[in-house]
Amino acid sequence: MSLRDKLSGKPDHDAIRTALKDKVVVVTGGARGIGFETATQLFQAGAKVAIGDVDGEAVGKAAADLGIEGIEVDVTKRESFDAFLSEVESRLGPIDVLVNNAGIMPVGPFLSYDDTIIRRTYDIDVLGVIIGCQEAARRMAPRRTGHIVNIASTAGRIPTPGLTIYNGAKAAVIEFSEALGAELEPEGVTVSAVLPTFTRTALISGLQTNKFIQTVAPEEVAAIVVETIARPVTRVYAPRSMRWADSSPLFPQAMKRFTRKLTKLDSIFLRPDQEARAAYASRIRGEKIEDKPTTRLS
């Protein structure tokens, strides 16, 4: 790697491949989006990869396409997560890395949320992460080695109208990850949180983004996840230019109101295009639907 590349912050792909070669890495929510892209890049880097997803048919197809292991798992059920990790170990060996990627993002006015979607969001986005961390750490700590990567969100640092439930869930993941990392460090287990901005997947279907709202491709997020596995850090944004969000809680309320109005973050998530978002909204409620192609938003 050249000095210029080092100074520019570009990833050292040779070092990444060396760090990941033959590592057993498990990715939840791996059938599509960030999870699938992360699994793809990990496999290309020489890791032994297994993906899990609640959609058994989709995870089977995704795994077959990549030539990796794919197993159905419900991250909200401890017995399912335990069985998933045990099956991975029986096929690939002891788990080196768990990427807790499974998650959903409901949008809309706070008073419109019903109990079903509120509970599903916290069951998947928070409880699923906690269960995954416990089940993985119980396997890693006795070996005094292991790495857990939790996919959080910049939304956990930037409170936004229309994202109240998601904001709270991802904020919980960020703080939980840092506390857990401090607790597990003496046991030889590292914990990282990756905070993507709004990712160009079905997650933002039906939302009218604009030039002020930075979005990111799933493969860009995946590249940062892979680099984080190779070179662990406590917290990293995707893209890294979003690191200013760490200072967001310090901004004066008047400044936050002005910024929300300028960027239209005060309304975008309150009034999504319901028809364009219908397939994703049905899927995150646990309804069986046919996936449709997702239009990339600018």
User: Which of the residues are catalytic?
Assistant: 166, 170
Q: Which of 173, 136, 171 is nearest to 157 (CA)?
A: 171
Q: How far apart are CA 111 and CA 89, in angstroms?
A: 44
The token pair that represents 108 in the structure block: 């809309």
CA 200 to chain centre: 13
Tokens representing 287 are: 């309804």
Compute and round to an integer the Cα radius of gyration of the chain: 19
Distance (Å, whole) CA 65 – CA 25: 17
Specify the 3-state DSSP secondary structure of 108.
Answer: coil
Q: Give all strands (DSSP E) within the chain, no chain letters.
A: 24-28, 48-53, 69-72, 97-100, 146-151, 189-196, 198-199, 215-216, 235-238
Interhelix angle 115-122/164-184, rounded to 10 degrees, is 20
Q: Are 180 and 133 in contact (CB under 8 A)?
A: yes
**Which residues are CB-contacts of 168 (< 8 A; sequence separation ≥ 6)?**
none
Q: Would you say 150 and 194 are in contact if contact means Cβ atoms under 8 Å apart?
A: yes
